[in-house]
Amino acid sequence: MVLHFIVRGRVQGVGFRWFVHREASELELRGWVRNTEDGEVEVVVTGDEAALTELRASLKRGPRGSRVDKVIEHTLVESEGADLKAFKIEGAW
């Protein structure tokens, strides 16, 4: 299963990408997280359904200091997850 999330709210400048990285890595998911130019956080992730359900709940909760207003979710075709490796933060310096 491959999912794409857009997280809206106060999600930049509060450690949200690092939070997602930790949660996804602990769940042994593959994929990436990055900030968007629109002030959102984007996540593409693949793994088993139970782990993805846990990550979804974490995205809705967010780390301390964040405020999640909305989580938009799309299911992608399986082939979109074929090249995903260990979970990483994209665009991190």
pLDDT tens digits for 36-83? Answer: 999 999 999 999 999 999 999 999 999 999 999 999 999 999 999 999
Whole-angstrom distance, CA of residue 81 vs CA of residue 25: 16
pTM beyond 0.75: the answer is yes
Of 82, 90, 68, residue with least CA distance to 24: 90
Question: Is residue 93 over pLDDT 60?
Answer: no
Question: Is 35 an annotated catalytic residue?
Answer: yes
Looking from the CA of 35 toward its CB, the CA atoms found within 13 Å total 16
Catalytic residue among 10, 22, 34, 35: 35
Question: Is 64 an annotated catalytic residue?
Answer: no
pLDDT of residue 92: 62
Question: Is residue 18 over pLDDT 80?
Answer: yes
Question: What phi and psi, each to the nearest 5 degrees, are found at residue 21?
Answer: -60, -50
Catalytic residue among 8, 17, 56, 64: 17
Walk me through the domains of the chain, giving residue ranges and CATH numbers.
Answer: 2-73 (3.30.70.100)
